[in-house]
């Protein structure tokens, strides 16, 4: 800005003992500026200086600086131009910066808000995906509750990977262990594949391992009077010792008779979850005073229905399950319900049956196999 004095001499006068405040008035002419000052403060003002200034918009204006007694100043300015505000005038930039800072804060909050809405929708989408495949909401909520505020929540792919990892960690495998002689009993709902799986296991242990194990069958499935003796048939083909019993006493005698065998595979009657009579009878067998520990394995079909899961577990968990063998992997692409069962009940998996062929369609349980199939279904 250009400045030049316009004829007013500096007449800055202090009245001794009084404090004066300065203020500048701007107008087209010095007279107008001075009149404004008088209008505001009355005639007690003292003229300090007057100059003509060329403003950036090219206009010439007059700046008239006056001094005013502090008491008058306070009285007139209170509420509009207090000294602090005049000082603040100097720090307008700071005020602006403060406002900018505030704005930035609000923007950040809005961004966070937006992010959390994205999170929510991403989270909901991913949860819906897994729930649609059969994984329980409660399990998902538990697992995801630890992620609150985590960036993973806004990235669908990361979130899916995280959940898959959690599933992987929650699943348990029971390694095959044949070091000790053992009794393996297979229980489970009707037609799930108990007898077929026993035949597969027998062939594996007797003929397909590094060393052959001495294997025998004990058949508790004597309920189907006159029915085809499926297990006896496999026993004949594989030349495996085979005893059928129909009472706890006969079971105990059978176990004594088979003492020299490394692995005794016990087949049981197919039990519907509601078939308590047969069930209780099997429990008696299990709880009887057997010479070796009886390992109880629940056969569960990969095609298990959601509504049946609880019943199955409640009806068989009394048997103190050692492991779960999963059958009929070849009959479904959808493994969510089964996975959900495994996540909920946390019994380790030992074998997978993947078809009807004896002995080939049997695998050692593997998380990778289960998860690969599940991921295939997710995609
Ligand atoms: N697709 C397929 N079928 C299987 C599998 N395992 C068994 N099966 C078939 O399922 C049917 C029933 O098998 P079983 O071994 O008799 O079943 P179970 O549990 O002994 O049946 P019950 O003794 O009547 O309770 C048979 O036709 C088997 O061939 C499997 O993994 N996949
Ligand atoms: Mg059977």
Instruction: Pick from 185, 189, 191, 298 the residue to mutate for probing ligand 1's pocket: most ligand atoms within 8 Å of its CB.
Output: 191
The pair of structure tokens assigned to 47 is 């003229």
How remote is the C-alpha of 124 from its chain's centroid?
11
Residue 286 predicted with pLDDT over 70: yes
Q: Are 273 and 311 in contact (CB under 8 A)?
A: yes
Give pLDDT tens digits for 18-75.
Answer: 688 889 999 888 888 888 988 888 888 888 888 888 888 888 888 888 888 888 888 8
pLDDT score for 129: 93
Structure-derived torsion over alpha carbons of residues 198, 201, 203, 207, reported in degrees to the nearest 10: -150
Hey, CA dihedral for 347, 350, 352, 358, is it positive or negative? negative
| Ordered structural domains, the chain, with CATH | 2-90 (no CATH), 103-170 (no CATH), 182-378 (3.40.50.300)
Q: Are 254 and 245 in contact (CB under 8 A)?
A: yes
Residue 240 predicted with pLDDT over 80: yes
Residue 239, CA atoms < 13 Å, CB-side half-sphere: 2
Ligand with an atom nearest the CA of residue 270: 1
The verdict on whether omega for the bond into residue 359 sits within 30 degrees of 0, i.e. cis, is yes
Q: Count other Cβ atoms within 10 Å, centred on residue 105.
A: 10
What is the rounded distance in angstroms from the CA atom of residue 29 to the CA atom of residue 371?
87
CA-based nearest residue to 185, from 162, 201, 169: 201
Q: Is 62 helix (H, G, I), strand (E, B) or coil?
A: strand
* Mean pLDDT, rounded, for 112-129: 72
Q: Count other Cβ atoms within 10 Å, centred on residue 217.
A: 25
Residue that has been written with the tokens 């069930």 in this structure: 279
pLDDT score for 33: 87
Distance 325 CA to ligand 2 centre (A): 14
DSSP H helical ranges for the chain: 30-41, 70-77, 83-90, 92-132, 137-145, 156-170, 194-203, 230-238, 248-257, 276-287, 306-316, 336-345, 367-378
How remote is the C-alpha of 263 from its chain's centroid?
42
User: pLDDT band at residue 78, thresholds of 50, 70 and 90?
Assistant: low
Share of the chain above pLDDT 90, in %: 44
Distance 194 CA to ligand 1 centre (A): 6
Distance 282 CA to ligand 2 centre (A): 14
- Ligand 1, atom nearest to 196 Cα: 15
pLDDT score for 180: 92
* Mean pLDDT, rounded, for 141-160: 87
- Ligand 1, atom nearest to 267 Cα: 20
Residue 14 predicted with pLDDT over 70: no
* Mean pLDDT, rounded, for 305-321: 84
Residue 79 predicted with pLDDT over 60: no
Model confidence, pTM: 0.69
- Ligand 1, atom nearest to 199 Cα: 15
- The single-letter DSSP state of residue 173 is B
Terminal-to-terminal C-alpha distance of the chain: 70
Residues with C-beta atoms within 5 A of ion ligand 2 = 194-195
For 99-113, 241-255, 257-271, which range has the lowest pLDDT when averaged over its residues? Answer: 99-113
Q: Which residues line ligand 1 (CB under 6 A)?
A: 190-196, 221, 230, 270, 327-328, 330-331, 353-356, 361
Ligand with an atom nearest the CA of residue 192: 1
How remote is the C-alpha of 165 from its chain's centroid?
10
């Amino acid at each position: 800005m250009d400045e030049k004095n316009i004829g007013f001499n500096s007449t800055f006068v202090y009245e001794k003992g009084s404090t004066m405040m300065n203020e500048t008035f701007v107008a087209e002419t010095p007279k107008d500026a001075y009149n404004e000052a008088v209008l505001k403060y009355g005639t007690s003002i003292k003229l300090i200086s007057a100059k003509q200034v060329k403003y950036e918009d090219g206009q010439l204006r007059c700046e008239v600086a006056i001094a005013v007694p502090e008491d008058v100043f306070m009285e007139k300015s209170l509420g509009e131009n207090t000294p602090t505000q005049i000082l603040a005038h100097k720090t307008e930039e700071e005020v602006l910066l403060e406002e900018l800072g505030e704005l930035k804060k609000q923007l950040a909050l809005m961004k966070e808000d937006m992010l959390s809405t994205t999170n929510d929708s991403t989270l909901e989408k991913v949860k819906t995906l897994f729930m649609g495949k059969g994984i329980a909401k409660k399990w998902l909520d538990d697992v995801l509750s630890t992620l609150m505020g985590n960036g993973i929540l806004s990235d669908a792919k990361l979130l899916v990977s995280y959940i898959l990892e959690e599933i992987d960690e929650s699943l348990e495998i029971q390694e095959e262990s044949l070091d000790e002689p053992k009794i393996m009993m297979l229980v489970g709902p009707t037609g799930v594949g108990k007898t077929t799986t026993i035949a597969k296991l027998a062939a594996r242990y007797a003929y397909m391992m590094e060393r052959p194990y001495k294997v025998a069958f004990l058949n508790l499935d004597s309920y189907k009077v006159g029915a085809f003796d499926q297990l006896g048939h496999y026993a004949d083909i594989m030349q495996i010792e085979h005893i059928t019993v129909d009472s706890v006493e006969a079971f105990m005698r059978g176990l004594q008779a088979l003492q020299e065998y490394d692995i005794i595979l016990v087949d049981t009657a197919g039990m519907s979850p509601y078939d308590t009579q047969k069930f209780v009878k099997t429990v008696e067998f299990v709880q009887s005073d057997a010479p070796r520990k009886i390992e109880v394995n629940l056969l569960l079909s990969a095609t298990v229905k959601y509504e049946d899961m609880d019943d199955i577990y409640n009806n068989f968990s009394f048997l103190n399950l050692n492991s779960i063998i999963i059958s009929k992997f070849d009959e479904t692409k959808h493994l969510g319900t089964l996975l959900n069962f495994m996540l909920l009940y946390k019994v380790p998996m030992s074998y997978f049956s993947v078809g009807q062929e004896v002995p080939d369609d049997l695998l050692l349980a593997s998380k990778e196999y289960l998860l690969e199939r599940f991921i295939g279904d997710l995609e």
